[in-house]
Structure 1
Amino acid sequence: MPPNEHLDHFAAELIVIPCGARKLDVRARAADMYTGSYHRACRRAAEALRPDRVLILSARYGLLGLDDEIDPYDTPHGAADAVSAAVLREQAARRGIERLDPVVVLGGARHVALAKAVWPHALTPLSGTRGMGEQVARLAAMARR
């Protein structure tokens, strides 16, 4: 079975996508803040799967809805002041989304590990890839569905 074939057989309740290092330099909606090509590729793939909801996992703010207004920042995942798994669990509980299933997480290893602290059974279609190029190719294939 191709790596993403299983994604054709359900409707995701939630897809979590990564933030990105490239950002606008002014306050903006989360949907507009991240300008990098990897974030955009994840967003296109997420939209192609037609989930009930898409959230961005921000290293600074945690779980963001696309319409949440945020200020620009320079906090990478893994930094001392980055959002923790405990904070993400609390945010998910406040949003009433901690028990959603299925959840799909798109992103790199740090992003996936954080999201899996909230949704341990989340589907991670980019797992097993051997680098950014392979991830972007897989995201492009997902977006073409």
Structure 2
Amino acid sequence: MTANDHLDYFKPQLVVIPCGSRKLGVPARSADMYVGSYHRACRKAADALQPDRLLILSARHGLLELDDVIEPYDTPHGAADAVTNQVLLEQATVRDIVGLAPVVALGGARHISLVRSVWPHVHNPLAGARGMGEQMARLAAWRKERDHI
């Protein structure tokens, strides 16, 4: 069994993926804004889950729908102008998605911590991975396995 096998037993209502530091240089839909390989790998893995809803957690804007148009920005998680737990909870409350379950989050520790502030029981299939390289390998292997289900 792999670390992600437990995800094969349910269809998540929500998957939250991270934004990325590499972005287009012009305003764009959030689905198109983030062009880095890590974001793209998380997006492909999230799409393979076929969730009811997919959101991007932006360090600057918080929860983004794929069709939300945003300006390029340079705000990493943890920066003074980055989204906070409180803002994220307010956004989820306004969208009436706080009670969704199951919820899956793909991303690094800061991303997962923010998501967990709204959904404490979030599934984190990348937990225990040692660095981005191992996370990328897990995402690719998991996506390949899901393609054969």
Partner of 1:73: 73
Partner of 1:31: 31
Partner of 2:7: 7
* Per-residue CA distance 1:7-41 (angstroms, 9 max, x = gap): 00000000000000000010000000000000000
1:50 aligns to 2:50 (yes or no): yes
Partner of 1:103: 103
Give, in whole Å, the separation in 1 of the partners of 2:142 and 2:64. Answer: 22
Partner of 2:84: 84
Structure 2 counterpart of 1:138, one-letter code: R
Partner of 1:140: 140
Question: For the aligned residues, what is the CA RMSD?
Answer: 0.5
Displacement of 1:2: 1.3
Partner of 2:63: 63
Percent identity reads: 68
Gaps of 5+ in 1: none
Q: Which runs of 4+ in 1 moved over 3 A?
A: none
Give the 3-state SS of the residue equivalent to 2:124 in structure 1.
coil
Give, in whole Å, the separation in 1 of the partners of 2:127 and 2:91. Answer: 25
Q: TM-score, normalised by structure 1?
A: 0.99
Give, in whole Å, the separation in 2 of the partners of 1:142 and 1:78. Answer: 29
Q: TM-score, normalised by structure 2?
A: 0.96
Displacement of 1:141: 1.6
Give, in whole Å, the separation in 1 of the partners of 2:143 and 2:65. Answer: 20
Aligned residue-pair number: 145
Structure 1 counterpart of 2:12, one-letter code: A
Displacement of 1:143: 1.5
Partner of 1:21: 21
